[in-house]
């Protein structure tokens, strides 16, 4: 009996030793797994800053060009140049978008180049940040002509007054002949055009692509009663039709498109701040 007890104690001691060793090895493994690498290299993707313009504009009309930054994080300030073809476009105005309406901003147009700068007291982050709306009047043309736009000399800052790596990009707008509101092609805007608007609305006339461009004077993407009202107001002098056609294409990035730069840049930020880990 006594011998059996001694054997049991020896077996227990052996098991404890093995278990302790196993635990030690496991703990060491966990420590190795959780160890912070000596150096972490994460490639920061540049924030793309680009002009967003309507694909088509009618000669002599006004267009809005939105300057957009894709995938910026902790954006506190921005400056850049928006270049345009001064033979085909003339500058009208530049305003920060509503997203930045509490920021300080300045702009200056010197033929062909609009210099833009803004600084905020609270930083912004987003997949597609609309920074400025820059309005241009396009020239009259006799044949369809492409006008180029480009963002250059970009400098973005985060809240630590550090550079956010960025790259400027280009866009273009096709300027086509025509008169906004003129649906029958006589280069005048009068009651004939309002009649054609109504006939399109009720389905008596199938609109051509030119109709869709010239008749959408409210710029909501379709010919509807609002265009008829604005056309009538223009005829009697209550207002002036200044533009037409679809609004600037909303090229806001979809989730699948913006996640890579966003997550990558956020991870990089987290690595810099905390040495390791995934952004919370
Ligand atoms: Ca007409
Ligand atoms: Ca419309």
* Range of the structural domain that residue 148 is part of: 47-177+248-274
DSSP letter at 205? S
The answer to the question of residue 241 being in a domain is no
Distance 194 CA to ligand 1 centre (A): 9
Mean pLDDT value across residues 236-251: 82
The answer to the question of residue 107 being in a domain is yes
pLDDT tens-digit profile of 211-222?
999 999 999 989
Residues 6+ apart with CB under 8 A from 12: none
DSSP letter at 100? G
- Regarding whether 126 and 254 lie in a shared domain, the answer is yes
Distance 214 CA to ligand 2 centre (A): 10
Question: Of the bound ligands, which one is closest to the alpha carbon of residue 215?
Answer: 2
> How far is C-alpha 74 from the geometric centre of its chain's CA atoms?
15
Do 65 and 53 contact (CB within 8 A), yes or no?
yes
Q: Return the percentage of the chain with pLDDT > 70, whole number.
A: 72
- Regarding whether 213 and 118 lie in a shared domain, the answer is no
- Regarding whether 100 and 173 lie in a shared domain, the answer is yes
pLDDT tens-digit profile of 167-210?
999 999 999 999 999 999 999 999 999 999 999 999 999 999 99
In terms of Cβ atoms closer than 10 Å to its own Cβ (0-12, 13-18, 19+), residue 72 is buried
- Regarding whether 219 and 108 lie in a shared domain, the answer is no
Tokens for 139, please give them.
Answer: 């020239």
Distance 50 CA to ligand 2 centre (A): 27
Question: Of the bound ligands, which one is closest to the alpha carbon of residue 197?
Answer: 2
For 62, the 3-state DSSP assignment is strand
Of 27-41, 87-101, 151-165, 232-246, the one with minimum mean pLDDT is: 27-41
Distance 220 CA to ligand 2 centre (A): 5
Would you state the pLDDT for residue 240?
Answer: 95
Question: Of the bound ligands, which one is closest to the alpha carbon of residue 180?
Answer: 1
Question: Of the bound ligands, which one is closest to the alpha carbon of residue 223?
Answer: 2
Would you state the pLDDT for residue 191?
Answer: 97
- Regarding whether 127 and 213 lie in a shared domain, the answer is no
Distance 68 CA to ligand 1 centre (A): 36
Total domain count, the chain? 2
- Regarding whether 222 and 94 lie in a shared domain, the answer is no
The answer to the question of residue 38 being in a domain is no
The answer to the question of residue 91 being in a domain is yes
Q: Return the percentage of the chain with pLDDT > 90, whole number.
A: 66
Residues around the ion ligand 2 (C-beta < 5 A):
216, 218, 220, 227
Burial 192-222 (b: 16+ CB within 10 A, else e): ebbbbbbebbeeebebeeebbbbbbbbbeee
CATH of the domain at 255: 2.60.40.680
Distance 248 CA to ligand 1 centre (A): 25
Is pTM beyond 0.75? Reply is: no
Residues around the ion ligand 1 (C-beta < 5 A):
182, 184, 186, 188, 193
Question: Of the bound ligands, which one is closest to the alpha carbon of residue 212?
Answer: 2
Question: Of the bound ligands, which one is closest to the alpha carbon of residue 222?
Answer: 2
Residues 6+ apart with CB under 8 A from 119: 76, 77, 103, 104, 105
Distance 191 CA to ligand 1 centre (A): 8
- Regarding whether 215 and 116 lie in a shared domain, the answer is no
Distance 217 CA to ligand 2 centre (A): 6
Mean pLDDT value across residues 25-51: 64
Mean pLDDT value across residues 125-134: 92
Distance 222 CA to ligand 2 centre (A): 4
Length of the chain as a residue count: 280
Residue 277, φ and ψ in degrees, nearest 5: 110, 170
- Regarding whether 121 and 206 lie in a shared domain, the answer is no
d(CA 83, CA 148): 8
Mean pLDDT value across residues 83-98: 96
Distance 212 CA to ligand 2 centre (A): 9
- Regarding whether 210 and 117 lie in a shared domain, the answer is no
Of residues 269 and 105, more confidence is placed in 105
Distance 199 CA to ligand 2 centre (A): 14
Would you state the pLDDT for residue 246?
Answer: 80
The answer to the question of residue 2 being in a domain is no
Question: Of the bound ligands, which one is closest to the alpha carbon of residue 245?
Answer: 2
């Amino acid at each position: 009996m006594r011998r059996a007890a001694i054997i049991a104690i020896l077996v227990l001691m052996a098991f404890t030793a093995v278990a302790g060793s196993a635990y030690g090895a496991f703990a060491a493994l966990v420590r190795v797994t959780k160890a912070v690498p000596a150096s972490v290299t994460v490639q920061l993707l540049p924030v793309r800053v680009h002009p967003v313009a309507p694909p088509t504009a009618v000669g002599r009309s006004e267009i809005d060009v939105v300057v957009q930054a894709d995938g910026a994080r902790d954006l506190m300030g921005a400056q850049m140049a928006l270049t345009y073809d001064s033979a085909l476009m003339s500058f009208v105005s530049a305003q920060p978008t509503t997203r930045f309406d509490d920021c300080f901003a300045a702009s200056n147009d010197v033929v062909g180049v609009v210099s833009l700068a803004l600084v905020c007291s609270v930083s912004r982050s987003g997949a597609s940040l609309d920074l400025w709306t820059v309005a241009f009047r396009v020239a009259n043309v006799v044949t369809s002509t492409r006008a180029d736009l480009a963002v250059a000399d970009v400098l973005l800052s985060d809240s630590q007054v550090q550079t956010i790596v960025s790259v400027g990009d280009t866009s273009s707008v096709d300027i086509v002949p025509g008169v906004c509101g003129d649906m029958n092609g006589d280069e005048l805007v009068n009651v004939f055009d309002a009649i054609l608007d109504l006939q399109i609305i009720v389905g008596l006339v199938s609109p051509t692509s030119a109709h869709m461009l010239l008749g959408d004077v409210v710029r909501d993407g379709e010919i509807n009663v609002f265009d008829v009202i604005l056309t009538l107001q223009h005829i009697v002098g209550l207002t002036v039709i200044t533009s037409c056609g679809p609004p600037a294409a909303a090229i806001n990035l979809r989730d699948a498109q913006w996640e890579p730069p966003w997550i990558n840049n956020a991870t990089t930020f987290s690595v810099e701040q905390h040495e390791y880990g995934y952004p919370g």
